Each structure stands twice: as C-alpha cells, then as structure tokens.
Amino acid sequence: MAVPPRRLPQLSTLRVFEVAARHQNLLRAAEELNVTHGAVSRQVRALEAELGEPLFERRNRGVHLNDRGKWLSTRLSEIFVEIEGTFQDFRAHSGPRPLIVSCEPTLCLKLLIPSISQLERQTGLDVRYMAAGGPVDFSRDHVDLAIRRNDFLIDHSLFVADLAEEEMGPVASPSFLDDQRAATGKPDLLHAATRPKAWRDWKKRAATPLKAKHDVLYEHHYLAIQAAEAGQGFALASVHMVARDLHLGRLKAPYGFIGDGTKYVALSPTRLESDPRKDTFVEWLRVQMARNIQDGNAAHSGHG
C-alpha cells in the first residue's frame, strides 16, 4: 500500500519564519538570510495563509509573535537544532573541508569574492563564504570564522581579532561628478537601510558639508553603491567595499574617507592559533584592508 505524501509547508518557508520569530524583526531576518525585507514578509504571510491563522501581531510598525506563533517558533527551533546536529555529525565523518567564513553581504560581494583567486594563489587556502551580518551562533551556523563590524554587542565567549578601522566617504561615478560640477543645486544622496545613521554621522565628522537635493533609500549598502556607480548620486560607502571600484575608475571619492568609530573584527569560537587556516586568512585580510585604506587616501589626494 502506497504511503500518502506528507502535506507540509516548504522547509525554506519554515526556516524564514524561524529566523523572523527569533529576531521579531523582519529587516534583521532579511539581513541574516541575505534576502529582501519584502521576501521575508511574503514568506511569513504565505505560511500564515497555509496554516489558516496569524502567527504575528502587527502593531506599531513592527511584528510581535502571538501565542500560537511562540509555540510554533519554539518547536521549529528545536527541530532545526536537531537537523543541524545531524549534518554536523555527517560532516565530522567526511574528508578535509574548506574554511567556512561568514561575512557581511556587501563586504562579501565587493571585497572577498573578487579576491578569491588572489587568496588561493597567495595562501593556498580553500575558503567558502556565507553572507550574513550581526551576531553569529557558531554551533548553529556551521562556520569557522565570522567577519563583522563591531557595531553590536559581541558574545564575550568568542575570540576577537582586530582587522581594520571602518572608514566611510561619499562616492559617485565620474560622469555624475562631471555633470554635478557643471550643474547648480544639490546632489541626490543615496542611503542604505542597513546603515540608517551613516550619512548623519559622516556629516558630523566631515569638514566638508554635503547637502541633498533628494534623499534616496535602498534596502542594502551594496544597492546604494551600485546606484552610485550607475550615476544616480552620492553613496556613503566603506573604503573596503569600493577600493576595487576606485582602482578601476568606476567610482571616485572627492571628499576622501574618514573613520566612523567602528572597526572590522574576526570572530572565532576558538583561538586563531588553534587552526592555522584561520590565522593565515586573518593575516591575509588585514593586509588587504590596510591596503584599501592606503589606496582610498591616495585616490582622494589624486582627485582633481
């Protein structure tokens, strides 16, 4: 007798709900999952529709688990821990594996992925990247290292290695700057929802004021940078994320870069010295990020 198929929601939908429930914030869930806020919202609503009942209360422009949502969230968290433990045991019996590094999405996209060949050539390391931001749970996420800015409370049990200071500055395409010089008025300033206070903080620190004609909001830092490259205005960007674009002439930084008071760090559940791969990767990344700051300053001093 044939066994009837199980009627279950998609595993990916349940995963999205579990992350959203854990954060009780759709934007933070989107950052962890490396998807858009809208995608998380649609998945949650689809699950509620499939179950025929709400799991969140939506009030004060936020989401809050109701009692049924809390029950389901608790059970799903237990199930995902069990699934993750199963795969951890499975991997433990496999052969040599690559170094798994979790890093913020824009840093991953703009710095680390374009440097994969260089990293392998210079160090011989086999590294795989997972895009994620904010706090990291090494037992849950199955990564060896996490690259983060220290703009959140870091678990005191983790080992922390400094990488580089964060330096921010307005960047724009050469064509936009040429047009802007010839035009009267103010430029558009491109904002990122993931760094909502960045422009405000930069204006406080910068000696040169920059006022906006329009403020344009993008969901992620890398989208604002891409819009700047397309000539849409000034994006406030990290020097570590635009160093390659500056070198290739796709962007210019007429106001240079200044520190924002944060820095990049490498987080590990164990001492770096306990795994030579971690130590090698961190030293390599320190060199790259120091060069980014040096090149960013050189690009500004050479701007005319």
| Residue with the two structure tokens 């558009």 | 188
Strand 145-149, strand 159-171: pairing? unpaired
What pLDDT shows up at residue 300?
67
Q: Which long-range contacts (CB under 8 A, 24 or more apart) does 216-219 make?
A: 216/188, 216/189, 216/190, 216/191, 217/191, 217/192, 217/193, 218/190, 218/191, 218/192, 218/193, 219/30, 219/36, 219/37, 219/192, 219/193, 219/194
Residue range 28-46: mean pLDDT, rounded: 91
| Alpha-carbon separation of residue 140 from 77, 83, 99, 137 (angstroms) | 10, 10, 16, 5
Predicted confidence (pLDDT) per residue in 164-207, tens digit: 999 999 999 999 998 865 455 578 999 999 899 999 999 988 87
* One-letter amino acid of 150: N
Tokens (6 digits) for 129: 């990247």
Predicted confidence (pLDDT) per residue in 113-157, tens digit: 999 999 999 999 999 999 998 899 888 888 999 999 998 899 999
Q: What is the DSSP letter of 219?
A: S
- On average, the pLDDT of the chain sits at 89
Tokens (6 digits) for 12: 């990916």
Q: What is the pTM of this model?
A: 0.66
Contact 81, 73 (CB under 8 A): no
Tokens (6 digits) for 20: 């959203």
Cα–Cα dist 272/300, whole Å: 35
Domains of the chain, earliest start first = 11-92 (1.10.10.10), 99-163+263-288 (3.40.190.10), 166-261+294-301 (3.40.190.10)
Beta bridge partners of 252: 172
Contact 25, 56 (CB under 8 A): no
Cα–Cα dist 211/31, whole Å: 29
Q: Is the pLDDT assigned to residue 288 strictly greater than 80?
A: yes
Q: Is the pLDDT assigned to residue 304 strictly greater than 60?
A: no
